[in-house]
Structure 1
Amino acid sequence: MDLRRFLENAGSVARTQTILRAGFSDREIRNAAASGEVCRLRHGVLALPGAPSDLVAAVLGNGLLTCASGATRHGLWLLHQPDQVHLLCRHGGPQNTVVHRESLVPHRTAEPVASITDILIHGLRCLPEVEAAVMVESAVRQGVTTLPYLRQRLPGNRNGAARKVLDLVDGTADSAIEVVARLLFRAAGIYTQTQVDLPGIGFVDFLLEGFLIVEIDGRSHLEPRQVKKDRLRNNASILTGYAVLRYGYADVVYNPEKVVAEVWQVLRGRVIR
């Protein structure tokens, strides 16, 4: 394996000591830097041109991407990109970053990214509960963790808030925005069923109070074939006796009060409390 291929496998950036331990010589490193094949970001750190900025920040900060900054590197859902880089640093840590200290499971990849367990535990302790629930839900859906596993690693009073977030996760959502919508409806006191298979209609995202179907539309719902399918499903739903509302990402994330108000407008008069 040549030096360029090694760096590609390591996320395009690595410390010189890591490269030397992999079997490359000082001469190979000097030649690659002199030719412009790799760049010296500072003494002891090499990168390929155009290396991802978050991975560069991790190596320069002598840490690993974790929490919201490490989530997408493991294919986990993220509701919002973080304003600051989150790093797992055993000692110190650069300014203008969010530093996490504790590590439960060592990372096993060449990239400077923490393990999924560490990313999830840090997210549960650090992020707003809805954003943390989104991240954990995706991990559960992927089968890379379980709720009992995470709960066991959050003992004591200091982790009480993090354990409460786990109660919001049920592993039924197909997307991050469905997690947000589910929590929104349940927080409003609405009886909410998810991914319900209705005869003659198929699976619906939400069935509220047994008669209101709510669908959350992603980008695929703008495609002509999907528009036609949605129209047929809407008609079948109404002809079967259900009410239907449809919302997009911006509605649920940026105007949740309006969504809940419209839902209650449909439910009002048919729900006896």
Structure 2
Amino acid sequence: MGPVPDCAGFMDLTSYLRYAGSVARTGTLLQAGFSARSIRNAVAAGEVARLRHGIVAQAGAAPDLVAAVLANGLLSCVSATTHHGLWRLHAPERLHLLCQHGSAAGAVIHRGSVVPPEFPRPVAGLTDTLLHALRCLPPVEAAVMVESALLQGRTTLGYLRQRLPGNRNGAARGILDLVDGTADSAIEVVARLLFRSQGIYTQTQVHLPGIGIVDFLLEGFLIVEIDGSTHLERAQVKKDRGRNNASTLAGYAVLRYGYQDVVYNPQRIVDEVWQVLRGRVIR
């Protein structure tokens, strides 16, 4: 499970427990230097609740963290994304747990670990989280997570490849080929893979004189912008309008799409992109 920070830097048990995710095994608290008596006193005072023998939690503890501790596991794969600050496309329908032994009803269980947890919270280390995702999730969803970690400078493609040896990990290694670290958001990863899957020459984050940086330039003349929520703000709408006009005046075609379009209606995007490209592709 990795080293557990001791209680020296914490005034009391409740502060430490909050640091640990507001739920913990009593063994974790004992390892951190708190006494069994201090745990009993905190329960008696109503500062923490005993969920069952050996597990205590504070009010408001995140349900996924509570479920992980109750299952004697660690959140991993897509279930660990929010705790690691990673992008994800969809919230998981089932909990994904790293459990070295046993199982949990209704959960997706991952085995094998190459790094210790990064903190006392019941969350698998970043490397384990990414490796589990590469072996478990659809390629685009796993690529989104890896690209997020790559952009944060928290891993490298070479490091992950080294930890995916042999034929059984061939598909997982193949997903790493989809990651290039050029996206500004999860949805841009999806759009990039969509365009390239169609055999369209796709450049990302291209600076065009008089226009600025565009999300995508397809076949050298079609600009595709992926709009997030900030593009609905008045100032951004005005800026986007000016960029669209500048793009048209410079001879580019422009298409704009949002999250819902990319995730839930990709075929419409493909059809519209090809409608613009058809007859003008010179390669």
Instruction: Tell me which interval the TM-score lies in, with the shorter structure as reference length.
Output: over 0.9
Where 1:87 maps in the other structure, the secondary structure is: strand
> Offset at 1:56?
0.5
Distance 1:129 1:105 in 2: 23
- TM normalised by structure 1 equals 0.98
Distance 2:269 2:42 in 1: 57
The Cα offsets for residues 162-215 of structure 1, whole Å up to 9 and x where unpaired, read as: 011000000000000000000000111111000000000000000000000000
**Displacement over 3 Å in runs of 4+:** none
**After superposition, where does 1:154-173 map in structure 2 within 5 Å?**
154-173=164-183
Is 1:77–2:77 an aligned residue pair?
A: no
Query: Aligned match of 2:213 in 203, 210, 216?
Result: 203
Q: Is the 8 A contact 2:74 2:123 kept in 1?
A: yes
Query: Aligned match of 2:63 in 29, 45, 53?
Result: 53
Where 1:111 maps in the other structure, the secondary structure is: coil
Distance 1:146 1:76 in 2: 15
Where 1:172 maps in the other structure, the secondary structure is: coil
> Offset at 1:269?
1.1
Query: Aligned match of 1:224 in 222, 230, 234?
Result: 234
> Offset at 1:27?
2.1
> Offset at 1:272?
3.9
Counterpart residue number, 1:99: 109
Counterpart residue number, 1:269: 279
Is 1:256–2:256 an aligned residue pair?
A: no
Query: Aligned match of 2:118 in 97, 101, 108?
Result: 108
Query: Aligned match of 1:16 in 21, 26, 36?
Result: 26
Where 1:262 maps in the other structure, the secondary structure is: helix
Paired amino acid for 2:15: R
Q: Is the 8 A contact 2:89 2:144 kept in 1?
A: yes
The Cα offsets for residues 10-29 of structure 1, whole Å up to 9 and x where unpaired, read as: 00000011112222222221
Counterpart residue number, 1:235: 245
Paired amino acid for 2:174: K
The Cα offsets for residues 235-271 of structure 1, whole Å up to 9 and x where unpaired, read as: 0000000000000000010000000000000111101
Counterpart residue number, 1:88: 98
Query: Aligned match of 1:187 in 186, 197, 210?
Result: 197
Distance 2:89 2:186 in 1: 6
Q: Structure 1: 5+ residue runs without aligned partners?
A: none
Query: Aligned match of 1:138 in 148, 162, 168?
Result: 148
Distance 1:153 1:43 in 2: 37
Counterpart residue number, 2:256: 246
Comparing 114-123 with 30-39, which one deviates more in the overlay? Answer: 30-39
> Offset at 1:62?
0.5
Comparing 175-184 with 30-39, which one deviates more in the overlay? Answer: 30-39
The Cα offsets for residues 128-170 of structure 1, whole Å up to 9 and x where unpaired, read as: 0000000001011111001111111111000000011000000
Is 1:213–2:223 an aligned residue pair?
A: yes
Query: Aligned match of 2:52 in 39, 42, 49?
Result: 42
RMSD: 0.8
Paired amino acid for 1:171: G
Where 1:232 maps in the other structure, the secondary structure is: helix
Query: Aligned match of 2:135 in 107, 125, 133?
Result: 125
Q: Structure 2: 5+ residue runs without aligned partners?
A: 1-10
Where 2:141 maps in the other structure, the secondary structure is: helix
Distance 1:104 1:29 in 2: 32
Distance 1:266 1:108 in 2: 48
Where 1:214 maps in the other structure, the secondary structure is: strand
Paired amino acid for 1:104: V
- TM normalised by structure 2 equals 0.95
Q: Is the 8 A contact 2:118 2:126 kept in 1?
A: no
Q: How many percent of aligned residue pairs carry the same amino acid?
A: 74
